[in-house]
């Protein structure tokens, strides 16, 4: 499958799909992308670490979830430089993408934030439909290390940035999509 599929999206957009681990984010994003395109693009941001068999198995499960309709691309940093114009794209996931910047910049949160914001702002200019998957780390356990706490805070700041530029924000809870943005107007009589 070629990345040069000529299916034109009706409108460029960004949908942020966030939630906890195993909440159904990837499955939901993939289903939505397939409803919009016969040949969506999946951008994997994970870095493989030597001797991490469990993580490798996770990646294999994710790959098995996609059939030959998908074009898969692995990119650790510069997603905005990929040929994504006029595509329907799933970016999976911001947390791993941000981890790449955080590690590269030796745990400097401000440099990492600057780099990923530049990428996100560049993505916003691409004529494509994006489903961006992220994690709500701040809803989980409190990190035990300083680096872990810095990363959790950084992830929260990045999620807020994406939510601000996104057309739609979905929170996945136990496999159920909850629309956060745009909010529906209150019904008459609701207070």
Angle at which helices 94-104 and 146-165 cross, to 10°: 130
Residue 72 neighbours by CB under 8 Å, 6+ apart: 41, 42, 44, 63, 66
Q: Do β-strands 88-92 and 41-44 pair in parallel, antiparallel, or remain unpaired?
A: parallel
| Residues with catalytic function | 62
CA 44 to chain centre: 9
Q: What is the dihedral of CA 155, 160, 164, 166, to 10 degrees?
A: 50
Secondary structure element (H or E) that encloses residue 172, with its range: strand 168-173
């Amino acid at each position: 499958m070629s990345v040069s599929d000529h299916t034109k999206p009706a409108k460029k957009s960004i949908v942020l799909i966030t939630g906890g681990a195993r909440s159904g984010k990837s499955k939901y994003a993939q289903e939505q992308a397939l409803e919009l395109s016969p040949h969506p693009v999946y951008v994997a941001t994970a870095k493989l670490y030597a001797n991490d068999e469990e993580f490798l198995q996770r990646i294999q499960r994710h790959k098995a979830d996609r059939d030959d309709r998908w074009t898969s691309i692995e990119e650790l940093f510069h997603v905005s430089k990929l040929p994504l114009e006029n595509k329907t794209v799933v970016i999976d996931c911001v947390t791993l993408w941000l981890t790449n910047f955080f590690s590269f910049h030796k745990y400097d949160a401000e440099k990492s934030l600057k780099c990923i914001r530049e990428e996100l702002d560049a993505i916003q200019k691409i004529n494509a439909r994006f489903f961006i998957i992220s994690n709500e780390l701040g809803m989980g356990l409190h990190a035990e290390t300083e680096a872990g706490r810095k990363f959790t805070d950084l992830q929260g700041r990045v999620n807020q940035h994406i939510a601000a530029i996104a057309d739609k924000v979905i929170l996945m809870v136990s496999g159920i999509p909850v629309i956060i943005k745009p909010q529906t107007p209150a019904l008459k009589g609701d207070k």
